Amino acid sequence: MASKWVSARTGTLIGVFVLGLGLGWLGASRQAMLENRDRDIAGFEAMRQRVDAEYIRRLDLSEAQRKLFLAVWDDVRREMDLTMGRLRPDMDRLLRGVDERLRPALSPRQLAVYDRIEAERRAQLPQRPVGSD
């Protein structure tokens, strides 16, 4: 009788442990998904700032090094934006090709969501600089 009670108690304890482990895993997975979604929606500039902060943290830069790091990357980013802007017509052509291939396979509801996502994403692309023709 006592061994049945010990077995039931052990089984219950294991069950509670497994349930807690599973709930913790689900909660952590959901939190990571929400954080990733927020990060992805934040846009390209937020991503740049996150990358800069990670570099600064991992390199353990002094204040003077930090200012130099940010100044150098700001200069380079302007050049990168101009380069990306000159590539904008090619990027637009490639994105139109994606649209032509995907749109026929999507339902009307999916198309509405797709259009909203693409509008947000394309708004983040660098504009074509004046005189880059």
How far, in Å, CA of 57 to CA of 128, rounded?
Answer: 33
Structure confidence by residue, pLDDT tens digits, 104-132: 999 999 999 999 888 887 777 766 666 55
Report how far apart, in Å, the C-alpha atoms of 50 and of each of 34, 39, 40, 47, 131 are.
17, 9, 12, 5, 32
Provide the residue count of the chain.
Answer: 133
Helix (H) and strand (E) counts in the chain = 5, 0
Q: What is the pLDDT of residue 63?
A: 93
Q: What is the pLDDT of residue 104?
A: 93
What residue ranges of the chain have pLDDT lower than 50? none
Q: What is the pLDDT of residue 36?
A: 73
Whose tokens are 């930090």? That residue is 66
pTM of the model: 0.46
Q: What is the pLDDT of residue 31?
A: 85
Domain ranges of the chain: 1-41, 43-133
Q: What is the pLDDT of residue 42?
A: 63
